[in-house]
Structure 1
Amino acid sequence: MTTLRLADTEALPQVFALKQKIEKLSDKGYAFGHQDTTSYGVGWRHDQDAYTSDVYKVIGDFPLVYGFDIGQIEHGKDKNLDDVPFDAMCTLMRKAHKEGGIITISWHADNPVSKGDSWETTIAVKHILEGGSHFQVYKEWLKKVADFLLRLKDENGMLIPVAFRPFHEMNGAWFWWGNPNCSPEGYKALWLQTLQLLSVEFEVHNLLYVYAPNLVFTEAEYLLNYPGDHVVDMLGLDLYQHGTGKAFKKTLKTNVEVLKRVAETLKKPYALTEIGLDKVSESRWWSTILDDTVAEMGIAWVLLWRNDSENHFFVPYPDQLSANDFKTFSQKAHVLFLDDGKV
């Protein structure tokens, strides 16, 4: 499946290697991922003396895919929007990478026009495109993103490859870069400009670029904002359960089938780049809803969202309602955690 061309025409060899690694995952099954898994969990936050995860506390292994978010880096802040210090984030990324984990980064950027957060939907995209009133602001923000990405080096000084998922869920109305706050044409222009600035202007060459809409029902919906084969390396999809398990399972099946058809046509690896049920209130969610629907569908990974507190979490912690089912799920040969991904 691997082509010799990536979105960044000067991508480093380790980025090609990451893409090949991602493609090979689906030969064995699919990888388990978790957002902020080593940064914090229910009742704890990372400190320098303890390296843990709620996933590890339940099953004795870590995820194979590690999600991080760099929201607030655009302001030069010390911590991200979820209070994770960027220095600590770099350390956690290095450790995960050294152990064979895959790093994926999202960016909940603030609204560059209104100065509100990502969810403040004042029209912004047309103003940050070249020639717009806030182009220079956006360019300065992106320089800070670039500086952070170029800090991500392993113990040998090699840049760590990252699956970068900017401006996700663009077909939803909740972000300033989403429809209808931004037209599909505007979104495509923003994607191309971001790629151009990062790779050419700021010489960031350690990224795979991941395009990831929210809930869709047709290929046309999925591709509405798609900026083009030559500027996307991987396809994603974000989907959360808000109603019954039965209804979600049906929706998930439809969405994964759409994603698979598009990805096979475009010959790109694909993943569920965000998924979950807040507070995991169904005791057998892992085996009867998630795995029963996505196994053998060719996806590279599922990334569960973060464990913030007992009131907002997506992966079980010890003794949580779904913890026993999660253990059963984790032991399935085709569900890949960190130890399964080591070669």
Structure 2
Amino acid sequence: MKYFVIICILIISLSGISCNSSKITRNQISKEPHSINSKLLERLSTISKAGFAFGQQDGTAYGLNWYLNDGSVGLNSDLKKVTGKLPAVIGFDLGHLEHDNIYNLDTVAFALIKQQTIEINRLGGIVSYSWHADNPVSKGSSWDTTEAVHDILYDERIKNKFNLWIERLSIFFKSLKDDDNQFIPVIFRPFHEMNGSWFWWGKKNCTKEDYVELWRYTVERFKYHGVQNLIYAFSPNTMNDVKDFDDYYPGDDYVDILGVDIYNHSGNTRFIESLNMNLSILKRKSEEKDMPFALTETGNMRMGSDSSWWTETLYPALHNSGITWVLVWRNARRDHYFGTFPGEKSAPNFKKFTNYPDVLMLSDLH
């Protein structure tokens, strides 16, 4: 018996496999009781029982007619200027961090992103990162649809480049620590909208099998570099049916949160129909997998012409839906914005929207 115990200890330490030969998966580790990731997942579950957290991409970094620089102190947002409240969820993008650049693809300094991530976490908010990585083969943008996924997996030169990119992101993730020197858990949403074809990882630019392998490989590379604070969110574009989910899903061991990105490209009526159908798919999947789900990207493509969109279109579809958060895209300029701002046509309606008891801004999360 003594020798059996010794052998078991050696197996555990060397291979990560228990004595009953069941492998400890990455997902099990991320949800281990008292881990920083499990605490965030528990918070998200609690939020969904009270309502849904509201967020915006780059919402505290810039807005209409203002822009923060690296070293700026304090948090502001267009939404706060309208309501007096900060968003509960802030999204940032890590595109160009793979090149070790100072600024991301939207000219936000990574130092500012890190600083604001720490501050948002201190205030009880949630941070979600997307990654519009450049095409590693063509050196074009994310929207350069030159095939690249297969090369990342099977061409050593491209794989080595991608590995360096993951290493650079790993350094950033491991630098996110709170006042107690503990890692800050963040949501990471890579390779999104894969069932569309506008990104190099999209459906016409790689096989479903290669997409799944890319996702798993990416997760394993972060694990290799000792990254412990990522909550992985899987988010297709508007799904036509459950097949759009199943075809690209990397597996429960590689995903923590389910999401979908839906905009009202085809008008509000179609948007509501698609939103209801897509969220019903996610709700079924979340119940099967015991994972939270979210509307990870959305927005009104006709902002400025619809004064009641928040309460008459968006809210009815989200009320009692079970989502844990919703994130609208960024306020880049007057011809490209998805949140409101002072003087904008829907600002009074957005203020009404945020006063509903189940719409949770940052101050509502305490």
Q: Same fold (TM over 0.5)?
A: yes
Deviations 1:53-90 (A, max 9, x none): 00100100011111110000000000000000111111
Q: Which residue of 2 aligns with 1:40?
A: 62
Unpaired segments of 5 or more residues in structure 1?
Answer: none
- Distance in structure 1 (CA, Å) of the matches to 2:287 and 2:243: 15
Q: Could you tell me whether the CA contact under 8 Å between 1:38 and 1:51 is conserved in 2?
A: yes
One-letter amino acid of the counterpart of residue 105, structure 1: Y
RMSD over aligned Cα atoms: 1.5
Judged with a 3 Å threshold, the aligned counterparts in structure 2 of structure 1 residues 278 and 258 are, in CA distance, closer, same or farther, namely: same
Q: Structure 2 matches for 1:93-242, cutoff 5 A?
A: 93-199=117-223, 201-242=224-265
- Give the total of aligned pairs: 338
How far is the alpha carbon of 1:198 from its aligned partner? 0.2
- Distance in structure 2 (CA, Å) of the matches to 1:217 and 1:179: 14
| Deviates most, 276-285 or 229-238 | 276-285
Q: Could you tell me whether the CA contact under 8 Å between 2:236 and 2:244 is conserved in 1?
A: no
Judged with a 3 Å threshold, the aligned counterparts in structure 2 of structure 1 residues 341 and 50 are, in CA distance, closer, same or farther, namely: closer
Give the match's secondary structure for 1:105.
strand
- Distance in structure 1 (CA, Å) of the matches to 2:73 and 2:40: 30
- Distance in structure 2 (CA, Å) of the matches to 1:8 and 1:163: 17
- Distance in structure 2 (CA, Å) of the matches to 1:8 and 1:294: 30
How far is the alpha carbon of 1:266 from its aligned partner? 2.0
One-letter amino acid of the counterpart of residue 106, structure 1: S
Q: Could you tell me whether the CA contact under 8 Å between 1:239 and 1:252 is conserved in 2?
A: yes
Deviations 1:102-133 (A, max 9, x none): 11101000000000000001000000115544
2:274 aligned with 1:251: yes
Unpaired segments of 5 or more residues in structure 2?
Answer: 1-23
- Distance in structure 1 (CA, Å) of the matches to 2:225 and 2:55: 29
Q: Could you tell me whether the CA contact under 8 Å between 2:194 and 2:236 is conserved in 1?
A: yes
Give the match's secondary structure for 1:218.
coil
How far is the alpha carbon of 1:294 from its aligned partner? 1.3
How far is the alpha carbon of 1:257 from its aligned partner? 1.5
Q: Which residue of 2 aligns with 1:325?
A: 349
Give the match's secondary structure for 1:113.
coil
Q: Could you tell me whether the CA contact under 8 Å between 2:252 and 2:289 is conserved in 1?
A: yes
Q: Which residue of 2 aligns with 1:304?
A: 328
- Distance in structure 1 (CA, Å) of the matches to 2:238 and 2:338: 18
TM, length-normalised to structure 2: 0.89
- Distance in structure 1 (CA, Å) of the matches to 2:29 and 2:270: 42
How far is the alpha carbon of 1:6 from its aligned partner? 5.3
Q: Could you tell me whether the CA contact under 8 Å between 1:163 and 1:209 is conserved in 2?
A: yes
- Distance in structure 1 (CA, Å) of the matches to 2:112 and 2:347: 28
Larger RCO: 1 or 2 (CA < 8 Å, sep 6+): 1
How far is the alpha carbon of 1:153 from its aligned partner? 1.1
Deviations 1:271-322 (A, max 9, x none): 0000001352311111111111111010001000001011111000011111
Q: Which residue of 1 aligns with 2:49?
A: 27
- Distance in structure 2 (CA, Å) of the matches to 1:62 and 1:90: 18
Q: Could you tell me whether the CA contact under 8 Å between 1:122 and 1:176 is conserved in 2?
A: yes
One-letter amino acid of the counterpart of residue 292, structure 2: P
Q: Could you tell me whether the CA contact under 8 Å between 2:30 and 2:37 is conserved in 1?
A: no
Larger Rg: 2
- Distance in structure 1 (CA, Å) of the matches to 2:218 and 2:315: 35
- Distance in structure 2 (CA, Å) of the matches to 1:8 and 1:193: 17
TM, length-normalised to structure 1: 0.95
Which 4+ stretches in 1 moved above 6 angstroms?
none
Identity of aligned residues (%): 40
2:31 aligned with 1:7: no
- Distance in structure 1 (CA, Å) of the matches to 2:63 and 2:54: 17
